[in-house]
Structure 1
Amino acid sequence: MAGDRPNVLIIGGGFAGVFAARRLKRANVSVTLLDRGTSHVFQPLLYQCATGLLSEGDIASPLRHLLRRCRNLRVFLGEASDIDVAAKTVTARRFDGSTFDIDYDYLILAAGARQSYHGNEQFEQFAPGMKTVDDALAIRRKIISSFEIAETLPTPALRKPWLTFVISGGGPTGVEIAGQIRELAIRALSKEFDSMDPAEAQVILVHGGERVLESFHPSLSGKAQKTLDKLGVTTVLGRHVTDVQRDHVITTDKKTKATEQIDTHTVLWTAGVEAVPFAGAVAEATGVTPARGGTIPVGPDLRVAGHENIFVVGDVMSLDKLPGVAEVAMQSGHHAAVLISRVVDGKAKADSPFKYRDLGTAAYISRYHALLESGPLRLSGFLGWLGWGGIHIFFLAGSRNRVWTLASWASTIIGGSRGERAITYGDPETARRPYP
C-alpha cells in the first residue's frame, strides 16, 4: 500500500466495519481493519446456531476472504484498548497480552455492542448473552446438555429444573430463541429420547413490557404472541429477572414488586445491550459525555464533536434514537466511508448528514411463522416467513454461507431433525466442568 496515502483505521468487523471497508476499496487511502475475531459474524442468526439449526460456519465468514478484493486493506487480529487522539494512535492488545500501536489519519469506530446486564454483571456467570459465536456455542452446550442430563433422571420432578428454560427479554432475539428451543423440543428431539419426553420442556419468556416485540406494530406483536402460545412458550409480562443463580432465577413484578422463584439450570439473557469498553476510552479521549448504554454521541454526519477525523457508526453511536439493527450499521458504515472518500478526493459535501433508510424489521417465531414490517407493509405467518428468509439470505455474507444456510433450512423442514447439535467445552477449565 502506498505510504503517502491517508491511513483509515476501522475498528470492528461487523456490518458497519465491513460495509465501510468495501466502500473504501477504490478510495485513495490505506485501510486497516482491526477486530478481536477472525470472522464477520451474521449476528441475526446466532440463535439458530445456538439451537442446532445452523453451524457456526454457516453464519461466519473469514474477514480476510470476505474482503480479499479490497487491495488497499490489511486485517489485524486484536482488541482496541486505548487511544491517543493527539498522536492519532490506537493501542491494541494481542491475545498473548502484548500490545501494538496503529496510526490513523481517519478513524471509523464500528466496534459494536455487547450484552448489558444493567449493572448486574454477576448474572453473566449463569445467564449468557448472545452476541458472539462463543456465546452461541455456550448456549448450545447448555441447551443440549440439559436434555441429556434430564434423560438420566428417573422422575418428572427431578427433570423439571433441567427442562425449564428461562429467557430474559422479549425483543426479537428473546422471542426467536424461545420459539426455537420449543421447536427443538417438540419436533427435532421428539423421537430421540427413551426415558423422557422432550416435550416436557418448559420455555418461559420473561419481559418487563406490556407485550413482546414492542418495536413492531401491536397487531404483529399480537400475532407473535398467539404463535408463541400455540408453540407452548409461557410468556410472563410486566416482570423483570432480578436475580440469577446456578439453579434458579427470581423475577419481580414491576408494579407490585412481588417476587417469584423459578427453578432452572438454563437462563439466557437478551435484555439489552451496551457499548463495548473501548467506547469509554474514546469518549474520555475526545471529551464527550457517553449517552445511554455507553454509546458515543455523534453529529448528523457521524463525526465526534471537535474531532473531524473520528467517525462513530453502528451500535456504538448515539444519533436520533436510531435502533441498534443491522441496517443502521450497514448504512452508517457506508456513509462514513463516503465522507472520508470525498475529503481525500477534495470534493464538496464532505459533511453531508446521515439519512437512515428504514428497510424494515423482521423476526422469526417458528417454522412458517415470522413477522416482517416495512413502512405500511406488515406481513406475518407464511408470507412473513418467506420475506424474513429472503432478507436474511440476501444480507448473509458469502455465497457459500447462503447455499449451506438454505440447505440446512431445507433439511430441517423436510426431515425435522437438526444436525448441528455437537457441543464444545471451550477452554480447558470449562471442559473440566462442562455441564450447566
Structure 2
Amino acid sequence: MAGAYRERVIDGELAEQLSAIGAVLIEGPKACGKTESAIQHAATTYRFDVDQAARNAASLAPDLVLDSPTPVLLDEWQVVPELWDQVRRAVDDHAPAKGLYVLTGSATPRDDVNRHSGAGRIAIIQMRPMSLMESGHSTGEASLSALMAGDNVAAKDPHLTVPDVIDRICIGGWPALLDANSRDAGRWIRDYLSQIVLVDIQELGVRRRDPENIRRLITSLARNVGTPTTVTSLAKDVGGAAGPVARATVDGYLDSIARLRLTENSPAWAPHMRSATPLQSSPTRYFVDPSLAVAALAQGPDQLLGDLNATGFFFENLVVRDVRTYIQGAGGAVHHWRDQNQHEVDIVVTLPDGRWGAFEVKMNPDDTDRAARSLLSFAEKVDHGKSGPPVALGVITSTGFAYRRRDGVSVLPIGTLGP
C-alpha cells in the first residue's frame, strides 16, 4: 500500500500560483515527486508517459483532455509538445478563470518552447528532490526566510551526526528512497543515471549523443562538483586519451543534461565592490541532488567518511539544494561570489527587493570561526551605498545548535534549516 503523501515546500507556492494564473508548470528531474505533488491539487489527471489513449486524444482532439474538471493535471506534457499551445489558448479562452491546468515535465522540449510563449498564462515552478526538512531529517526550526528578514534564528541540536549527513548525501532526496539504505540507494541511482544516458538524452530530439562521452562528462562533473570548472577542462575529461573533444560537443552534452534537470549551477554574483580586484564570472557547477555525484563516482558512505575534505564538496551540493528549495517561494535566487585572488563565498542569496545574504558552507563545525571572519571581510568589500548591507551572514555546517554569534554571523546546522 502506498504511503501517505509527504508535504513538499512547493505545495504552498503551487497553491498560490493556481489562485493567480491560468496554468502552472512544475519542472524537475524524473522521480523527484512532481506527479504526486501535482495530484494533490488536481481534479483530473492525465499521465502522457504511460497512457497511450491520453496521448492520442491530446494529439488529435485536445479538447477532450482540456475540457475536464479543473485543475487538470497534464503529467509529462512534453511527450505531446503541441499541448503547450493548446493550454495557452485554453487559458486565454477561459480568462479570467485561474487554476485551470497543472503541467509537469522532466525534460525541456527542443527549442525551449515553454520559455518564450507562456508569459502571463503559465507560471513555472522548479522542483528538486526532497530537502532534509521534507524528508524528515531537518527540524526546519532555523527559518531561512526569517534570517533574510533580519531576524535572529535559534534552534536546538537536532542530533544529526556526520555519518547521518553522509548517508543523506549518498541516498539523496528521492521520494522512492526514503526508507532505503545507502547500498540499495546507490544501486537505484546508478541505474537512474544509466537510464538517463542510454534513453532519456537520446529522446530529447537532438542528434544522437555518444553514451560513453556522456558518462565521462557526468563523472567529470561529479569530480568537480562545487567548483567553477571550465568547458575546456570538461572537454579534456570527455575526450580522455584521444584528446579533448570539441567545445561545441561538450556544450551540447551540458545542454542535454541541463534540459533533463540533472544539473543546477550557481551563477556568479556581481555586487558593487569597493575592491578593485576583478571578479570571476564562471558558474559553480552542482547536481540537482548530491547523490548523483556520489553515484557517478561509484562511492558510498565508507569512502566519504574516509575523505572528509572531498566530502565537503558533496556536502556543499546538499546545502545548495536545500537553500534553493527553501528560498524559492520568496522569489529568491542562489549565486556564488569569487574574485581572481580565489577569495570566495559559497552562497549568496538574493531577493527581488534587493536584500541579500552571504553564507559559507563548512562541514566541519571547527571551521566556523575562520568562515565567519571570511564572511565579515567579504561584507566590508561590498559597496553598501549601491548594493546595501547584507541582511544575513551565516555559516551552514553539519551538526550542533543554531545561534547567532557575537559578531553577528549565524551558525546554521543543516539539520535545523528550513524555509
Scaled by the length of structure 1, what TM-score is found?
Answer: 0.25
Higher helix share: 2
Scaled by the length of structure 2, what TM-score is found?
Answer: 0.26
Higher strand share: 1
